[in-house]
Amino acid sequence: MAYSLYERVMGERFARLPVAVQRFHRLSGCVVLHGYVQTDAPATWLAGALAVLLNTPRHASEGVLRFELDASPDVERWTRHFPQRTMSSRLRLRDGCVEEHLGAARLTFELVAGDGALRMRLVRLRLLGVPCPRWLMPRIIAEEAGDGGHLHFSVSAALPWLGTVASYRGHLALD
């Protein structure tokens, strides 16, 4: 049996995740899921300019979310069709972490299981190929939880002096 990308990164810690989160991160091949999402607009015009580079939502909205997953044990492509924007990223294993290519950024996350959720902790960031210094690193909150047949997610990214660049939350139906 081939382990999923998240199982490979987390090892035995994967078993501590809620069942719905495990189900989501064990999906393989091409899968389409539907759910509901709320997005917030960037806090400032500079944060909005950065949102353009990242291809993240630039307007507050709410509605149906269509999520396309193309997953193999080595690489996953996530395409999120928000009500007013489509955002795509590619994830892969790198140095024991998950590296996400999102627009002009390359974000490296450590995966943490605890308190009934999966949390992604940003450890490195490159924007346009340039490493981001620690003092300028964004504050990212990225969490997944689950109940029954739903995966609940909450993502927020804010930069010092610029405020929130991207923020969205909602759920996906796993059945």
What structural domains and CATH numbers belong to the chain?
5-173 (2.40.128)
Q: Is 1 helix (H, G, I), strand (E, B) or coil?
A: coil
Q: For residue range 111-169, what is the model confidence (pLDDT) as tens digits?
A: 999 999 999 999 999 999 999 998 889 999 999 999 889 999 999 999 988 999 999 99
Provide the whole-model pTM. 0.93
Which residues are within 8 A (CB) of 65 and not within 5 positions of it... i.e. 6 or more apart?
34, 35, 36, 37, 80, 81, 82, 83, 170, 172
Q: Is 99 exposed, middle or buried (0-12, 13-18, 19+ CB in 10 A)?
A: middle
Residues 71-82: pLDDT tens digits? 999 999 999 999
Task: Return the pLDDT at 49.
Answer: 94
What DSSP element (H or E) covers 152? strand 150-159
Separation CA 113–CA 150 (nearest Å): 18
pLDDT band of residue 1 (cuts 50, 70, 90) is low
What pLDDT does residue 126 have? 95
Q: Is the pLDDT of residue 2 over 80?
A: no
8 A C-beta contact, residue 9 and residue 93? yes
C-beta neighbour count of 129 within 10 angstroms: 8
Mean pLDDT of 96-100: 97
Mean pLDDT, rounded, of the chain: 95
